C-alpha cells in the first residue's frame, strides 16, 4: 500500500486508514483481529479510533475499540510499525462532552491505558466545544505534546471559521500548531461542473467531495496542526451549497 505525507509533519502514513469503530463491539475479537491482520498484511499501518467507540452498541460503554486495539498490538508486537489516531470530546457513560483542559488530560490518559501505549500518534478534538475558551483547549493539547504523550494534534467536526480561530489562537499562545496543515476549502455554488482535485501530490489530509453541479469556487485558507478531515469524514454544508475540501500544499 502506498503512503502519503501527513500534512507537513514529516511523517508518511498509509493512503488508506482503517476505521476501527466497531472492532471489539459489533465485531467480535476473532473477526476484529482478522480484519486488522488483513489490513496490515496489505501494507496498511494507519488506524483510526476514538474514546467513545462504540458506546451506542448494546452492552457497550465506550472504549471497546481502543481496548481491542491495545490488546491486538500487544499480542502482535507491532505498535512501533503503526500510526494510531484517536479522539476525545464526545460524551460517553461517566464522561461529559467537552474540551476543557481536565477533560482532555483525563481522556488522553485513559486512551493511553486502553491502547497500551506510551504515545498517541494523532489525538483529535472529536467535536467543537464553544463553551470552552479555544486557548484552554489548545494549551491542554500542547501540554500533552510537550509531555511526549501525543505526537500530533488534529480536529474533527469543526466549522471552518472555528479552525481559523484555533489557528490564530495557537499563533498567539504558541500552542500545538508546530506542524500545521495548510488547507484550501472551496465553497461551491451550483453549476454544471464538478470540483477537480489538485494536481500536486495528495496528502493524508487530502480528500475531495465531488459536488454535483458545482462550478464556481472561492478559496478559504485555514490551518490547525495535523488537520485530519480525511480521517473523520467531516462534511460541511453551507447556505450556498456543499463544501468540497482539498488539502494539499501541506
**Closest to 228 in 3D by CA, of 174, 164, 152:** 152
Cell 498484511 belongs to 41
R_g of the chain computed on alpha carbons: 18
Residue of 22, 33, 39, 53 marked active site: 53
Burial 123-152 (b: 16+ CB within 10 A, else e): bbbbbbbeebebebbbbbbbbbbeeebbbb
Distances in Å between the Cα of 205 and the Cα atoms of 32, 35, 96 are 26, 24, 29
Q: Clarify whether 53 is annotated catalytic.
A: yes
Calpha distance 177→6 (Å, rounded): 14
Integer Cα distance of 111 and 82 in angstroms: 16
- Give the catalytic positions in this structure: 53
Amino acid at each position: 500500500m502506498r503512503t502519503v505525507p501527513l500534512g507537513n509533519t514529516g511523517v508518511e502514513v498509509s493512503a488508506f486508514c482503517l476505521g476501527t469503530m466497531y472492532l471489539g463491539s459489533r465485531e467480535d475479537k476473532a473477526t476484529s483481529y482478522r480484519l486488522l491482520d488483513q489490513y496490515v498484511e496489505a501494507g496498511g499501518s494507519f488506524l483510526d479510533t476514538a474514546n467513545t467507540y462504540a458506546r451506542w452498541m448494546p452492552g457497550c460503554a465506550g472504549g471497546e475499540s481502543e481496548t481491542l486495539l491495545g490488546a491486538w498490538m500487544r499480542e502482535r508486537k507491532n505498535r512501533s510499525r503503526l500510526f494510531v489516531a484517536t479522539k476525545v470530546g464526545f460524551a460517553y457513560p461517566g464522561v461529559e462532552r467537552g474540551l476543557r483542559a481536565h477533560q482532555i488530560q483525563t481522556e488522553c490518559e485513559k486512551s493511553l491505558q486502553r491502547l497500551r501505549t506510551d504515545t498517541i500518534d494523532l489525538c483529535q478534538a472529536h467535536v467543537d466545544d464553544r463553551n470552552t475558551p479555544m486557548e484552554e483547549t489548545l494549551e491542554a493539547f500542547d501540554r500533552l505534546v510537550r509531555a511526549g504523550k501525543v505526537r500530533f494534534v488534529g480536529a474533527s467536526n469543526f466549522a471552518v471559521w472555528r479552525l481559523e480561530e484555533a489557528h490564530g489562537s495557537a499563533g498567539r499562545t504558541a500552542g500545538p500548531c508546530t506542524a500545521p496543515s495548510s488547507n484550501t476549502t472551496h465553497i461551491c455554488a451550483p453549476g454544471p461542473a464538478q470540483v477537480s482535485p489538485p494536481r500536486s501530490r495528495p496528502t493524508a489530509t487530502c480528500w475531495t467531495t465531488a459536488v454535483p453541479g458545482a462550478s464556481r469556487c472561492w478559496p478559504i485558507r485555514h490551518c490547525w496542526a495535523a488537520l485530519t478531515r480525511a480521517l473523520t469524514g467531516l462534511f460541511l454544508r453551507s447556505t450556498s451549497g456543499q463544501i468540497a475540501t482539498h488539502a494539499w500544499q501541506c
